[in-house]
């Protein structure tokens, strides 16, 4: 694990205020609107993902909010975006494990061990079973949307850094390229 060098930096409160300001551009409702109604939302089906991302209202708003941020604070903001994206990925993986793998495993084990009981429960509670599957699917979609947004925020911060003259080496391999 790499050690963090301690340097004189601005107060943590300033970083968190900047973070909240940038993240405010990326609400879940805004994501749904962008995917359904925005011309840039339909652009995600092409090969040029960077230009499409840059053209979204969220990216434009976030980059405008970061326009006066000093380079050192941009580095700190990028670090926070990386942490956020890694945490989002971990939560997404946990959700898939807990909400898909475990229930499906238990269901399949039940079909193998006591198929009559499982068939009776599913047949007798078909509506509840269907509601359960739908709610589980929606919950997973929320986890995935949060992960996707975390990667999108990370990529927008990387785009802002590139536009401001940072080299790709400064951004690193774990940048927001996986959006």
| CB 132 within 8 Å of CB 32 | no
Whether 68 is covered by a domain: the verdict is yes
| CB 56 within 8 Å of CB 34 | yes
Whether 174 is covered by a domain: the verdict is no
∠ CA 67-71-75, rounded to 5°: 105
pLDDT given at position 171: 56
- Domain interval for residue 112: 12-168
pLDDT given at position 159: 94
The pTM for the full model equals 0.77
pLDDT digits over 141-175, tens only?
A: 999 999 999 999 999 999 999 998 876 565 555 54
4 pLDDT above the threshold of 70: no
Q: Which of 143, 162, 155 is CA-nearest to residue 98?
A: 143
Unique residue bearing structure tokens 């708003």: 61
HSE-up (13 A, CA, CB side) for residue 67: 6
pLDDT digits over 52-102, tens only?
A: 888 888 899 999 999 999 988 999 999 999 999 999 999 999 999 998 999
pLDDT given at position 177: 42
User: What total number of domains does the chain contain?
Assistant: 1
135 pLDDT above the threshold of 60: yes
Whether 142 is covered by a domain: the verdict is yes
pLDDT digits over 14-48, tens only?
A: 899 999 999 999 887 777 766 666 665 555 666 77
pLDDT given at position 31: 73
Whether 22 is covered by a domain: the verdict is yes
Whether 173 is covered by a domain: the verdict is no
pLDDT given at position 74: 92
């Amino acid at each position: 694990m790499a050690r963090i060098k301690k340097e004189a930096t601005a107060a943590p409160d300033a970083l968190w205020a900047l973070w909240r300001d940038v993240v405010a551009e990326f609400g879940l409702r805004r994501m749904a609107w962008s995917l359904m109604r925005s011309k840039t939302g339909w652009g995600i089906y092409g090969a040029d993902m960077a230009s499409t991302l840059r053209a979204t209202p969220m990216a434009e708003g976030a980059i405008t909010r970061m326009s006066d941020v000093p380079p050192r604070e941009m580095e700190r903001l990028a670090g926070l975006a990386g942490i956020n994206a890694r945490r989002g990925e971990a939560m997404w993986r946990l959700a898939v494990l807990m909400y898909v793998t475990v229930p499906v495993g238990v269901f399949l084990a039940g079909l193998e061990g006591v198929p009559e009981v499982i068939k009776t429960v599913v047949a007798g509670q078909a509506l509840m079973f269907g509601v359960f599957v739908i709610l589980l699917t929606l919950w997973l979609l929320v986890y995935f949307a949060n992960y996707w947004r975390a990667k999108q925020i990370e990529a927008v911060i990387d785009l802002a850094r590139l536009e401001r003259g940072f080299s790709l080496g400064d951004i690193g391999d774990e940048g927001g390229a996986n959006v």
